[in-house]
Structure 1
Amino acid sequence: MIRVLLRVLGHEHASPLRRTVTLMTAAAVAEGLSYALLVPLLRALLGPAPEDAWPWLAAFGAAVAACAVLRYLGDLSGFRVGAALLHGMYHRLGDHLARLPVGWYDTNRLGELSVLAGRGVLQAMSAVAHLLAPFVSACVTPLTIVAVMLCFSWQAGLAALVAVPVVAAVDARAGRATAAGDAERAERDHEATARVIEYLQAQPVLRAGGRTTERFRSLDDSLRDLRRASRRSVLSALPGVVGLTLTVQAVFTALLALGAHLALAGELGAAEALAILVLAARCADPLLSLTDIGGKLRGARHVLARLDAVLGTEPLPEPARPVRPVRHDLAFDSVVFRRGDRTVVRDLSLSVPEGQRLAVVGPSGAGKSTLLHLLARFHDVDAGAVRMGGVDVRDIDTEGLMARIAVVFQDVRLFDGTIEENVRLGRPGASEAEVRAAAAAARLDEVIERLPGGWAAHVGEGGALLSGGERQRVSIARALLKDAPVVLLDEVTSALDPVNEAAVHEGVERLMAGRTVVMVAHRSRTVRHADRVVLLDGGRVVEDGGHDELLRRGGRYADFWKTSLTPTTHPILKGPAS
């Protein structure tokens, strides 16, 4: 576990962790050695002159005090190292997640990351602060006591030494028996967490469908599976717990019987016999706790393994010698992209001259949004190349590429802060005047005027305190402030009311002015004002050309225009019939 912990956190934490383990080991050894003073102490107390026991009693008290000091230092070091590791783990995990491509994140990973970043990290790092010391003590103190027994009674010491591998084997078998159950329970836990998140996100849909009192089947199933996995995990642990308890008690009983036999045979004095009783009892307590400690450590080790897997996920490679494009035209050259076993984009070639607007239309699942993701390098293509200004986006460093692209998606995510903080994400160093100008251009100033607090108004988690149209205006203001030469738009007005749609459309028009634009469109007005339109289906370009030209051809685009594209009905947005 220590090796995995250091691999997860980095070897810069090795020295304080080793120092902590050394202190804890020293405390456990000192505790075991202090029991060696029991023999002369008991001999003096049971002898003809009990007053001679004072020096031994003082020595035993000093040894106990030394053990207490070492234990305190070990525990304190464990708490400090645990806190430092927790801080380092959160920073390393956060930095790594920020470097992973956006395409790596999907719904299936939400539950796992929620568990890992929450109680998972706490569970793994608290093992150092709360579990390491008891585990070291449970392993080292009994071994030291066995060595002490060998010093004053080789028979009792040998019997205890023979019992060591037996106890270790029973404990190891118990651990193996429960490992599979623990792994299954953790897997079901992650799945249940993902379903809870899905259930919360689906509330608008469920309520709109009048299903507020119904049970959510996928959530119920996942919780039922979690309950069953937890029950199987507990049942699989019972034989190990019972087996270890019986083994330890049997060893304890055997040592007591041996001590009594040796004392009655005159081979062991009363003081030694009492010492065996005390030492055997002291060995039993930490050994009995091994099952509980081992189970918690296995849970922490399982979390560490998952953290190691996440941290071992390679981000998209950065170019050794980044190239900065001087133009901002876009091109897809024979692009192939797969997601799992499914080919989403098939041998697609397409170009967008600098300063022009390309509208991408097509049925659901045609690969429209994927084109935007490939341009922003949320994924790398499996074949072909995506180029900006003639440069493969894989040859542009991430920072340079993102500086040239402004993205506005249909699903806007805002941080739980003020409106101004969310707008400034587009360009943190922008002046106050530039921020205000971007807000005015996106018609966000109308929203700010009616909100209590104005610019300082909090948007809530994910922007929950704002409407969909208001969140979209924040997103557009952010993109305007960024002032990037390439703009990617993904159905930004698909779910807005007419008033908000008008405001957002006006902001989008300002955002697109003079820039290279690729937009996934489903509104007729948006398509008509594009310089060029491509119809995608099955990851391929089916038709390509100007809107009027494609209508005159009377092909698939003309049919799609009549049946699928949403007409603009609001008076502000309504265009001429086609």
Structure 2
Amino acid sequence: MIRMLLHVLGHDHARPVRRAVALMTMTSIVEGLSYALLVPVLRPLFGSNPADALPWLITFGGAVAIYAVLRYVSDLFGFRAGTTLLRGMYHRLGDHLARLPLGWYSTGRVGEVSVLASQGVLETMGVIAHLLAPYISAFVTPVTIVGVMLAFNWQLGLAALVAVPLVAAIQIWTGRSMAAGDADRHERDTEATGRVIEFLQAQPVLRVGGRSVQRFALLDDALRELQRASRRTVLSVLPGMIGLTLVVQAMFTVLLVLGAYLALGGSVGVAEVLTILVLAARCADPVLSLADIGGKLRAARSELARLDAVLRTEPLPEAPEPIQPVGHGLDVEAVAFQHGDRTVFDDLSLSVPEGQRLAVVGPSGAGKSTLLQLLARFHDVDAGAVRVGGVDVRAIDTEVLMAQIAIVFQDVYLFDGTIEDNVRLGRPEATEAELRTAASAARLDEVIKRLPGGWAANVGEGGALLSGGERQRVSIARALLKNAPIVLLDEVTSALDSVNETAVQEGIERLMAGRTVVMVAHRMRTVQRADRIAFLDGGRIVEEGRHDELLRRAGRYADFWNASLTPAAHD
């Protein structure tokens, strides 16, 4: 657990934890050794001259005071280390996430990382602040006490020593039996959370179907599975807790009987027997707490393992000696790319000369959006090369590459802030005049005029306070302000009404003017003005040419075009 924690924290952030562990270990050892002073304290008290116990009482009090100071300092150090490292961990996680390929951020993964970055990091850092000290004390203090017992009487010490491997074996066995249960419960918890969200999102459909007061079977099943998984987790803990309690009680009983036997036989004195019993009682408390601490640590360990898995994800490699692209033409050369178990592209090749427009069309699932992601290096190709300005994107510095490209997707995400904040994201240092010009070109100024607050109007989380067309206008204004020479468009008007579609299309035309453009088209009428059209299917370009030329060929593109003109397609 501690080893994994140190690995997740990294070399720089791990140092305070190592110091905290050393201080907490020293504190636990001092606590165990301080009980050794009970023997010289109790001997005079049970002897003929109780006054001789005073110097030892003072010494014992001093040892307890030293232990108290060490405990205070170690707990405070652990708490401060936890709160300090919490910020450091957020920075490390944030820096790492910023370097991961953008294609890594699938919808499910974004939700998982969101939970991990909030609950997961807090729970992990809570180990340092709240669980590390009692965890170390539960192991080190009893072992130290057993050593003290051996020093006083080898028979009593040996009897106590027998319990050590039994306790360790129970902890290991409990941990292993819970590991599968914890993983299963986490999976069921994730499934149930998804079903709850689905239930909320599906309310319009359920109510239209007359099922507004009926139970949602998928959600019920998920919750039942979660309940069963939780019950299995609890049941897997019970044998360990009971076994630990039995071992501790058995050890105390054996020491009590053996101590009484040795005292009656004259082998040990009353002071030694009482000290051994006090030590045994003190030893039992932290050992019994292992059951509770162990459960919390296992929960934290699960979060830690997920955090470690994210941090182990390799970011896209940076070129040791980056090359500056010359020009803004795009080339895809014999590219092969596999996403998961699915082969998306196999020997795909195409080129877009600088300043020209390429429209990519094809059936759903042909890989049109994936092509845009490869051009922007959201992923690295498995074979072949993607070039910008004649340079492989893998040889271009990431910031330089991103400065060359403006991307407008169909699904626009806006940050919870003002309209101006979201537009300036394209180029924060832009002047006021440049900002207004970009907004006017995107026809965003029409939206700003009618919104209370104007430029200072808040868009809400994800842009929830704006309509789809308004969000698209913000996205286009942001791309215009960035003024990048390459524009990638994933059909941005397919889900808009006619009024917003006209306004957005005007903004897109201004954005594309004089730039190298690759547009993915779902509405066929948007591709007619492209310099060239590529029909993508089965991971390859099966047709390529101008609109009129492809219609004359009467091939796949012509079929798509004719299908788009039917009444059903317009509906």
Whole-angstrom distance in 2 between the partners of 1:510 and 1:569 = 28
Letter in 1 for 2:54: W
RMSD value over aligned CA atoms?
2.3
Give the aligned length.
570
Q: Secondary structure at the match of 2:408?
A: strand
CA drift at 1:205: 6.9
Q: Secondary structure at the match of 1:364?
A: coil
Q: Counterpart in 2 of 1:162?
A: 162
Q: Counterpart in 1 of 2:512?
A: 512
Aligned 1:299-318 pairs, distance under 5 A: 299-318=299-318
Q: Against the structure 1 CA distance between its residues 214 and 375, is the aligned structure 2 distance closer, same or farther, given a 3 Å change threshold?
A: farther
Q: Counterpart in 2 of 1:137?
A: 137
CA drift at 1:206: 6.5
Q: Counterpart in 2 of 1:272?
A: 272
CA drift at 1:154: 2.6
Q: Counterpart in 2 of 1:283?
A: 283
Whole-angstrom distance in 1 between the partners of 2:343 and 2:332 = 16
Structure 2 portions without partners, runs of 5+:
none
Tell whether the 8 Å contact from 1:524 to 1:568 is kept in structure 2 after alignment.
no
Q: Against the structure 1 CA distance between its residues 236 and 568, is the aligned structure 2 distance closer, same or farther, given a 3 Å change threshold?
A: closer
Letter in 2 for 1:28: S
Q: Counterpart in 2 of 1:574?
A: none
Is 184-193 or 65-74 further displaced after alignment? 184-193
Tell whether the 8 Å contact from 1:146 to 1:160 is kept in structure 2 after alignment.
yes
Q: Against the structure 1 CA distance between its residues 394 and 291, is the aligned structure 2 distance closer, same or farther, given a 3 Å change threshold?
A: same
Is 322-331 or 65-74 further displaced after alignment? 322-331
Q: Counterpart in 2 of 1:118?
A: 118
Letter in 1 for 2:460: G
Q: Does 1:40 align with 2:24?
A: no
Q: Secondary structure at the match of 2:58?
A: helix
Q: Does 1:461 align with 2:469?
A: no
Q: Counterpart in 2 of 1:437?
A: 437
Q: Counterpart in 1 of 2:258?
A: 258
Whole-angstrom distance in 2 between the partners of 1:73 and 1:306 = 32
Q: Secondary structure at the match of 1:413?
A: coil
Q: Against the structure 1 CA distance between its residues 214 and 90, is the aligned structure 2 distance closer, same or farther, given a 3 Å change threshold?
A: farther
Letter in 2 for 1:59: T
Tell whether the 8 Å contact from 1:111 to 1:191 is kept in structure 2 after alignment.
no
Q: Secondary structure at the match of 1:472?
A: helix
Q: Against the structure 1 CA distance between its residues 200 and 537, is the aligned structure 2 distance closer, same or farther, given a 3 Å change threshold?
A: farther
Tell whether the 8 Å contact from 2:524 to 2:564 is kept in structure 1 after alignment.
no
CA drift at 1:518: 0.8
Is 449-458 or 422-431 further displaced after alignment? 449-458
Q: Against the structure 1 CA distance between its residues 478 and 115, is the aligned structure 2 distance closer, same or farther, given a 3 Å change threshold?
A: same
Is 409-418 or 534-543 further displaced after alignment? 534-543
CA drift at 1:221: 4.1
Tell whether the 8 Å contact from 1:523 to 1:565 is kept in structure 2 after alignment.
no
Q: Does 1:77 align with 2:64?
A: no
Tell whether the 8 Å contact from 2:326 to 2:390 is kept in structure 1 after alignment.
no
Letter in 2 for 1:506: E
The one-character-per-residue Cα deviations of 1:211-261 (angstroms, maximum 9, x if unpaired) are 665655555444433322222111111111111111111001111111122
Q: Against the structure 1 CA distance between its residues 290 and 57, is the aligned structure 2 distance closer, same or farther, given a 3 Å change threshold?
A: same
Tell whether the 8 Å contact from 2:476 to 2:511 is kept in structure 1 after alignment.
yes
Q: Against the structure 1 CA distance between its residues 163 and 197, is the aligned structure 2 distance closer, same or farther, given a 3 Å change threshold?
A: same
Tell whether the 8 Å contact from 1:33 to 1:144 is kept in structure 2 after alignment.
yes
CA drift at 1:171: 2.2
Q: Against the structure 1 CA distance between its residues 202 and 516, is the aligned structure 2 distance closer, same or farther, given a 3 Å change threshold?
A: farther
Q: Does 1:474 align with 2:474?
A: yes
Whole-angstrom distance in 2 between the partners of 1:568 and 1:481 = 38
Q: Against the structure 1 CA distance between its residues 569 and 16, is the aligned structure 2 distance closer, same or farther, given a 3 Å change threshold?
A: closer
The one-character-per-residue Cα deviations of 1:453-493 (angstroms, maximum 9, x if unpaired) are 22112111111111111111110010000000110111101
Q: Against the structure 1 CA distance between its residues 205 and 411, is the aligned structure 2 distance closer, same or farther, given a 3 Å change threshold?
A: farther
Q: Against the structure 1 CA distance between its residues 439 and 214, is the aligned structure 2 distance closer, same or farther, given a 3 Å change threshold?
A: farther
Whole-angstrom distance in 2 between the partners of 1:248 and 1:204 = 58
Tell whether the 8 Å contact from 2:156 to 2:258 is kept in structure 1 after alignment.
yes
CA drift at 1:51: 4.1
Q: Does 1:356 align with 2:345?
A: no
Whole-angstrom distance in 2 between the partners of 1:251 and 1:565 = 86
Tell whether the 8 Å contact from 1:178 to 1:236 is kept in structure 2 after alignment.
yes
CA drift at 1:430: 1.0
Q: Counterpart in 2 of 1:98?
A: 98
Whole-angstrom distance in 2 between the partners of 1:568 and 1:454 = 40
Q: Against the structure 1 CA distance between its residues 81 and 102, is the aligned structure 2 distance closer, same or farther, given a 3 Å change threshold?
A: same
Tell whether the 8 Å contact from 1:319 to 1:394 is kept in structure 2 after alignment.
yes
Whole-angstrom distance in 1 between the partners of 2:331 and 2:554 = 27
Whole-angstrom distance in 2 between the partners of 1:187 and 1:568 = 42
Q: Counterpart in 2 of 1:560?
A: 560
Q: Counterpart in 1 of 2:61?
A: 61
Whole-angstrom distance in 2 between the partners of 1:223 and 1:433 = 55
Q: Counterpart in 2 of 1:378?
A: 378
Aligned 1:112-511 pairs, distance under 5 A: 112-196=112-196, 218-511=218-511
Q: Against the structure 1 CA distance between its residues 410 and 568, is the aligned structure 2 distance closer, same or farther, given a 3 Å change threshold?
A: farther
Q: Secondary structure at the match of 1:333?
A: strand
Whole-angstrom distance in 2 between the partners of 1:464 and 1:477 = 18
CA drift at 1:60: 2.1
Q: Secondary structure at the match of 1:10?
A: helix
Q: Against the structure 1 CA distance between its residues 175 and 523, is the aligned structure 2 distance closer, same or farther, given a 3 Å change threshold?
A: closer
CA drift at 1:197: 5.3
Structure 1 portions without partners, runs of 5+:
571-578
CA drift at 1:203: 6.5
Q: Secondary structure at the match of 1:473?
A: helix
Q: Does 1:532 align with 2:532?
A: yes
Q: Against the structure 1 CA distance between its residues 337 and 427, is the aligned structure 2 distance closer, same or farther, given a 3 Å change threshold?
A: same
Could you state the TM-score of these two structures normalised by the residue count of structure 2?
Answer: 0.94
